[in-house]
Amino acid sequence: MREILGRRRRLRRGTRPAPLDAVLTCATAWQWPVLPGVGLEAAGGRAGRGRGCACPDPDCVVPGAHPFDPGLLAATTDERMVRWWWTNRPTAPILLATGGRAPCALSLPAVAAARALAELDRMGVRLGPVVATPTRWSLLVAPYTLEYLGELLHAQDRVPSALRFHSEGGYLVLPPSGTGTGQVRWERGPAPTSRRGASGTRGRDRAACDPVPWLPDVGTVLDALVEASNGASDGGSRLAY
């Protein structure tokens, strides 16, 4: 939810490729259930179309960035399974199965999300990790149920129409992953549950930070987003894009 070719550097003995290192941290240190995304076609795929999704759908709208084989229900925190997947498919995108005990998220189009983060910073709202793709940014939050989300939405007069919710039965692409729309990165890197060490993570890939990342409550983030969105001078949304 792309790679710049250059000289291939020899890995030092005992080091792991970055995607494997990142996905093992997610699965084993953070206990986030993960699985490999379908990925992209090999270089020189469909004639004249560049690299598309490796799935059978020639018009796939999320190329490379969705489950296929294995399916979403295969998401796991088991180190042996995760290591086997990425040993055999070292460039596979990392998919997080959201909901349950795993993080959930709220996402906005990239331009609106950049404005939202600036406004939330001005308001003094503490955010958790933020995953950025070229098209959408996702604000990770603590797990929530659909029933709880329904109560929160019912209490709001209006929410940004471009806001999406990722919870039980959903998934997100995590860094460092390459998809058909571009590279996935941390706009705000995972910070430990303790406030200590939470600063200085903006714009850095911090997937190797072992302490479990701190996640805000979805209600706090939703309330702040609604407040940041509403109240434009023309009666519209300040997060329009």
One-letter-per-residue 3-state SS of the chain:
CCCCCCCCCCCCCCCCCHHHHHHHHHHHHCCCCEEECCCECCCCCCCCCCCCECCCCCCCCCCCCCCCCCCHHHCECCHHHHHHHHHHCCCCCEEEECECCECEEEEEEHHHHHHHHHHHHHHCCCCCCEEECCCEEEEEECCCCHHHHHHHHHCCCCCCCCCEEECCCCEEEECCEEECCEEEEEEECCCECCCCCCCCCECCCCCCCCCCECCCCHHHHHHHHHHHHCCCCCCCCCCCC
pLDDT tens digit sequence for 217-234: 999 999 999 988 875 554
Q: Of 196 and 239, which is predicted with more confidence? A: 239
Which pLDDT belongs to residue 84?
96
CB 37 within 8 A of CB 173: yes
pLDDT band at 12 (very low <50, low <70, confident <90, very high): very low
Q: What is the pLDDT of residues 168-192, one digit of tens each?
A: 999 999 999 999 889 999 999 998 7
Cα separation, 74 vs 136, whole angstroms? 25
**Model confidence band, residue 48 (pLDDT cutoffs 50, 70, 90):** very low
18 or 213, which is more confident? 213
d(CA 233, CA 221): 23
**Range from 101-115, 148-162, 225-239 carrying the lowest mean pLDDT:** 225-239
Whole-number percent of the chain with pLDDT over 90: 66
Given this model, what pLDDT does residue 197 score?
39
Provide mean pLDDT across the span 71-75.
95
